[in-house]
């Protein structure tokens, strides 16, 4: 009898864990209510890899009266299906829209899993984002993420492209939920939107803010523009919650200040190198010393050298 009970308990545990969204040593992931009608799933704070299956962003649910709106559902079709199952644990209402913050596939490729269930899904993004991903950006990100995670199968042919354009300066309303859109010309990329959900007073920063990892600044980005954007936002009245593209959400200063501080050191050190006819790597050691608070951030050394180089190029371009 004891044996039967034990095996029933084991079977029960297995059944529960089979339903959970588990990523190896990173544990279980689920949506937690932040406040009002906002539920966030904070992804592992690191680069995409095999063990995290390419899931490392912060998908968020906004529950409307009749349906759900998802911001940045995740990085591929396969994790998208698991995230969809977690969404359905929060609410059985249909998903009526997603909003994608920018062009990088780790944020929007999971649209595919939502589209499969809801073929009429409205997918909002800035027109720059839509143009860039259709003109090769999606393929480029598919290649990057497939090589890192091996988990992109099912995501393309066709890609789940956004089908609704949103412009900066506009407010869109979906199922009674109002979203104010701001488009910085160049910050994390030139395709970003910063979204303020007015009903809950929540600001979605996209990758203009990260905490715990540094991410990349590609050719379309502008580190000085990114700093300027965040400083402008900090001048406005504080919102209830700020959700970064990667890392924990929270109040304004605790969420935005660390990334502003990091970028400011990078830009200052690059300027010092440029003014003194040094190469960017020649100020790297000094930058590392000034950035002690960030040494534990994911892949700190690998990323910061590249960022110094990018900041140096920005000073060069300004001088032309």
Instruction: Closer to Zn ion by CB, 126 or 174: give it.
Output: 126
190 binds Zn ion (CB under 5 A): no
Least distance between Zn ion and beta carbon 2 (Å): 54
Specify the stretch interacting with Zn ion by CB under 5 A; choose among 78-86, 111-119, 200-208, 220-228.
Answer: 200-208
Specify the stretch interacting with Zn ion by CB under 5 A; choose among 76-84, 102-110, 170-178, 278-286.
Answer: 102-110
Specify the stretch interacting with Zn ion by CB under 5 A; choose among 1-9, 101-109, 118-126, 171-179.
Answer: 101-109
Select the residue interacting with Zn ion from 86, 207, 298, 314 (CB under 5 A). 207
Instruction: Closer to Zn ion by CB, 34 or 207: give it.
Output: 207
Instruction: Closer to Zn ion by CB, 104 or 197: give it.
Output: 104
**Whole-number Å distance between alpha carbons of 23 and 52:** 6
Instruction: Closer to Zn ion by CB, 62 or 129: give it.
Output: 129
Select the residue interacting with Zn ion from 42, 104, 211, 310 (CB under 5 A). 104
Least distance between Zn ion and beta carbon 43 (Å): 13
Cα three-residue angle 253-259-261, rounded to 5 degrees:
85
Rg of the chain taking only CA atoms, in angstroms = 20
Instruction: Closer to Zn ion by CB, 37 or 128: give it.
Output: 128
Least distance between Zn ion and beta carbon 104 (Å): 3
Q: Residues 52-91 vs Zn ion: string with x where CB under 5 A?
A: ----------------------------------------
Residue reference for tokens 């089908």: 163
Answer yes or no: are the C-beta atoms of 142 and 185 closer than 8 Å: no
Least distance between Zn ion and beta carbon 75 (Å): 11
Q: Which residues bind Zn ion (CB under 5 A)?
A: 104, 207
């Amino acid at each position: 009898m004891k044996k039967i009970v034990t095996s029933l308990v084991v079977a029960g545990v297995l059944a529960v864990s089979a339903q959970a969204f588990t990523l190896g040593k990173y544990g279980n992931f689920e949506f937690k209510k932040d406040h009002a009608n906002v539920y966030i799933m904070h992804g592992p704070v690191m680069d995409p890899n095999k063990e995290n299956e390419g899931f490392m962003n912060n998908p968020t649910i906004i529950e409307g009266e009749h349906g759900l709106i998802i911001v940045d559902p995740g990085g591929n079709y396969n994790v998208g299906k698991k995230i969809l199952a977690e969404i359905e644990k929060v609410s059985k209402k249909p998903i009526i829209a997603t909003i994608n913050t920018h062009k990088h596939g780790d944020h929007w490729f999971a649209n595919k899993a939502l589209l499969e269930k809801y073929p009429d899904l409205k997918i909002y993004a800035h027109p720059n984002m839509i143009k860039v991903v259709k003109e090769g950006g999606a393929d480029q990100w598919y290649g990057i993420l497939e090589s890192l995670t091996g988990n992109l199968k099912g995501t393309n042919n066709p890609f789940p492209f956004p089908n609704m354009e949103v412009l900066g300066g506009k407010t869109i309303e979906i199922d009674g939920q109002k979203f104010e859109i701001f488009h910085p010309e160049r910050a994390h990329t030139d395709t970003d939107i910063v979204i303020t959900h007015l009903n809950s007073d929540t600001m979605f920063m996209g990758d203009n803010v990260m905490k715990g990892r540094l991410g990349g600044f590609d050719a379309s980005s502008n580190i000085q523009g990114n700093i300027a954007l965040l400083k402008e936002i900090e001048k406005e009245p504080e919102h209830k919650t700020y959700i970064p593209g990667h890392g924990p959400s929270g109040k304004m200063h605790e969420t935005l200040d660390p990334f502003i501080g990091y970028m400011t050191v990078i830009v200052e050190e690059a300027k010092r190198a440029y003014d003194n006819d040094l190469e960017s790597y020649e100020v790297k050691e000094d930058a590392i010393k000034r950035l002690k608070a960030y040494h534990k951030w994911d892949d700190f050394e690998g990323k910061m050298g590249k960022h110094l180089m990018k900041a140096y190029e920005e000073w060069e371009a300004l001088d032309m």
